[in-house]
Each structure stands twice: as C-alpha cells, then as structure tokens.
C-alpha cells in the first residue's frame, strides 16, 4: 500500500480527482494527507468534508526556515508518505523535501513544458501567455520534481488544441479536463510499477 500526500493551494479539482482515484484503487493507494499553505481554499474544504487528514504549513517570517522545513518533513514522515503529488501548490518545495523524496514527487503543469513554465507561469497566466503567443497547441505535462522549478524530468505530455475563438477561461477549462484524466492514469502506471528510470529519464514501460 502506497501512502499518497497531495500538496495543493487552490480550488483542488485535481485533488478531488486523485481522491476518487485512490478510493477506486484502495488496495494499492491511500490518499493519506493533504498539505496546504492556504487554510481558505477549495482543497482544504474538500478534505474537511471528506474526512481526509490535512495540515496547513505556512512559512512565516517569524519562524526560522529550518523549523518550517522540519515541520513539513516530520509531517510526511509521521504519515509514512511514499509518494507526493503536487496539484496546484503555489509554494516552492524546500530542497530538503526534494532530496528526501527524490523521484517520488510528481507535479502537473498546464502547458507543454518547457514552454510556459517557471517563474510567473501559474494559473491563468499560463493560458493567457499561450493565447498571446498565437500557438495552436498547448497541453499538460506531468513531471518529477527536482531542484529546478518546472524543469524536473518529464514523464508524460498530452497535447491540447488552442482554438481561434478561445478565451483564457475556455482554454483553462479544456486543459483542466485533460489534467483530471491523465494525473490518475500516470499515478496508476506508477503504482503498477510501469515507470522505469533509464539514467535520469523516466520511461513508461509497455504493458
Ligand atoms: C492546475 O492547472 C495544475 O496544472 C496547476 O495548478 C492547477 C490546479 O488546479 N499546477 P486545481 O486546484 O487542481 O483545480
């Protein structure tokens, strides 16, 4: 049994989908914990309503950074977390966590990385930039998280068309729909040992 922790800061629609997935696959994966920096978000509301343990961990300037990191590490350890899925988490993951959970942290990003990734590219900013670029395709990327923001090894990408009449909202909705499908599909492959590392590249093994 794999204990999953989701990190989320926002509306939490991916978190909801991952929870549904975990319930369906309950012999293999357990969504044990939500970590958020935002006590007032959809993800936390959903956790409360669905009896999912959650922890709010915020970095405040009053507290030493090492205490913040310790709190996070300790919480993951206490919950015996094996896999972390970032789902709209808007804070940087401390390097100590990345090192400790090497190759065990996934992120989903609403563009075809490396395009429209990195600093400032979150939420609607991504879709706005895609539309402004005039590109006719965007997509979703699932990647492992490493030290460089939005640059970790890419595991899977799926294209999504950009239509001429799209507003940012239209595009965001189309992309999110795809996210909901593929995050679970990829985590399913992971729990079924279908992801293999060849050097520093993750490869999906054929069944
Ligand atoms: C998604 O678009 C995800 O790709 C990005 O943040 C958004 C989170 O959406 N990292 P939600 O909170 O899961 O609805």
Q: What are the tens digits of pLDDT across the range 110-169? A: 999 999 999 999 999 999 999 999 999 999 999 999 998 889 999 999 999 999 999 999
Average pLDDT, whole number, for the chain?
Answer: 96
Instruction: Determine if ligand 1 sits within 6 Å of the CB of residue 117.
Output: no
**DSSP SS3 for 157:** strand
Has residue 206 got a pLDDT over 90? no
Distance of CA 14 from the midpoint of ligand 1 (Å): 6
Is residue 127 flagged as an active site residue? no
Whole-prediction pTM: 0.96
Which of 6, 10, 41, 45 to mutate for ligand 1's pocket (most ligand atoms within 8 Å of CB)?
10
Instruction: Determine if ligand 1 sits within 6 Å of the CB of residue 37.
Output: no
CA distance 122 to 111: 10
Among 101, 79, 111, smallest CA distance to 175 is for: 111
Question: According to DSSP H, which parts of 12-123 are helical?
Answer: 13-24, 42-49, 65-78, 95-100
- Determine the pLDDT at residue 60: 83
Catalytic annotation, pick one of 109, 127, 143, 180: 109
Q: What is the pLDDT of residues 69-87, one digit of tens each?
A: 999 999 999 999 999 999 9
DSSP 96-131: HHHHHTTT-EEEEESS-TTTT-STT--THHHHHHHH
- Determine the pLDDT at residue 207: 74
Q: Which two tokens stand for residue 120?
A: 């400032």
Q: What is the pLDDT of residues 169-198, one digit of tens each?
A: 999 999 999 999 999 999 999 999 999 999
Distance of CA 175 from the midpoint of ligand 1 (Å): 10
Among 57, 82, 89, 85, smallest CA distance to 71 is for: 57
Has residue 61 got a pLDDT over 80? no
Indicate if the alpha-carbon torsion angle 148, 154, 156, 158 is positive or negative. Answer: positive
Q: How confident is the model at residue 63 (pLDDT cuts 50, 70, 90)?
A: confident
């Amino acid at each position: 049994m794999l204990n999953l922790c989701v990190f989320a800061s926002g509306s939490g629609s991916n978190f909801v989908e991952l929870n549904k997935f975990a319930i369906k696959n309950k012999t293999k994966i357990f969504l044990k914990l939500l970590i958020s920096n935002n006590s007032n978000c959809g993800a936390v509301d959903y956790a409360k309503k669905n009896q999912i343990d959650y922890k709010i961990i915020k970095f405040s300037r009053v507290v030493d950074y090492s205490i913040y990191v310790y709190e996070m590490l300790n919480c993951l350890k206490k919950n015996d977390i094996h896999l972390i899925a970032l789902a709209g988490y808007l804070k940087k993951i401390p390097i100590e966590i990345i090192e400790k959970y090497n190759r065990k942290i996934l992120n989903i990003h609403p563009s075809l990385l490396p395009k429209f990734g990195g600093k400032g590219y979150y939420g609607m900013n991504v879709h706005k930039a895609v539309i402004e670029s005039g590109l006719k395709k965007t997509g979703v990327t699932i990647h492992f998280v490493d030290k460089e923001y939005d640059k970790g090894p890419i595991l899977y990408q799926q294209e999504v068309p950009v239509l001429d009449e799209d507003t940012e909202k239209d595009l965001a909705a189309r992309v999110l729909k795809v996210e909901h499908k593929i995050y679970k599909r990829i985590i399913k492959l992971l729990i079924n040992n279908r992801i293999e590392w060849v050097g520093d590249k993750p490869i999906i093994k054929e069944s």
